[in-house]
Amino acid sequence: MRIRRVAVGSVAGLQRYFEQPNGPKLEKGQGCLLVARIILVPAFVDHDGHWLVPRTPVDGCGQPQGGYRPLFRAIRWHVLSVDKVRLMISAAALGAHCAMEINDLPAGGIGPILSTSGGPLFKSSPRTVRACIYRTPRNDLEVGNFVRGFSLGVAQTQRSLAP
């Protein structure tokens, strides 16, 4: 969903955050961690429609200065509009760590499948396994849509892998 909101209170603290000067430059010989951080920067708009997108104050390593999150959470919002955006991955699929769709290569596309006498499914037996269930059309078992997913516990996994 795309939600358009307008702040209706508690903006002063956030404004003070963006008005801070940058931190001091590092002295020679000091280093920085390679960490990527993102701050969602609000656009400030007045009653006349004039807007300003502030710069984010940074420390000596070029990283955003701390203290932003509690200020942003304290703001009171009024929702102006909500637009539904196409669902890409359902909450159930995310929670189960499953893909929304499967699309296996056709058997002819991967070369000849050689006969085998069987053997273990895994090189070493896992403690637990995750299962993803898909619904496929009757005439094409190589494609399917996510139905549900779950994890087997240690005892269930051992029973399912037993010879």
Read off the pLDDT of residues 68-90 as tens digits, 9 standing for 90 and up: 888 888 888 899 888 887 777 88
Both 31 and 99 in a single domain? no
Asked which of 33, 66, 83 is the last residue of a domain, the reply is: 83
Does the residue 129 lie in any domain? yes
Both 60 and 30 in a single domain? yes
Both 148 and 76 in a single domain? no
Q: Which helix (H) or strand (E) holds 12?
A: helix 12-19
Q: How many CA atoms lie within 13 A of 7 on its CB side?
A: 17
By residue range, what is the domain housing residue 53?
A: 2-83
Does the residue 138 lie in any domain? yes
Residue 60's pLDDT band (boundaries 50, 70, 90)?
confident
Does the residue 61 lie in any domain? yes
Query: What's the domain count of the chain?
Result: 2
Both 56 and 128 in a single domain? no
What does pTM read for this prediction? 0.42
Q: Counting Cβ atoms within 10 Å, is residue 46 exposed (0-12), middle (13-18) or buried (19+)? A: exposed
Does the residue 117 lie in any domain? no
> Amino acid letter at 162?
A
**pLDDT (tens digit, 9 = 90+) per residue, 99-124?**
888 876 555 555 556 777 777 777 78
**pLDDT (tens digit, 9 = 90+) per residue, 29-41?**
777 877 767 777 7
Nearest to 22 by CA among 76, 69, 60, 77: 60
Q: What distance in Å separates the CA atoms of residue 147 and residue 156, rounded to the nearest whole number?
A: 21
Does the residue 116 lie in any domain? no
Q: How far is CA 19 from the centre of its chain?
A: 30
Does the residue 115 lie in any domain? no
> Are 90 and 145 a contacting pair, CB within 8 Å?
no
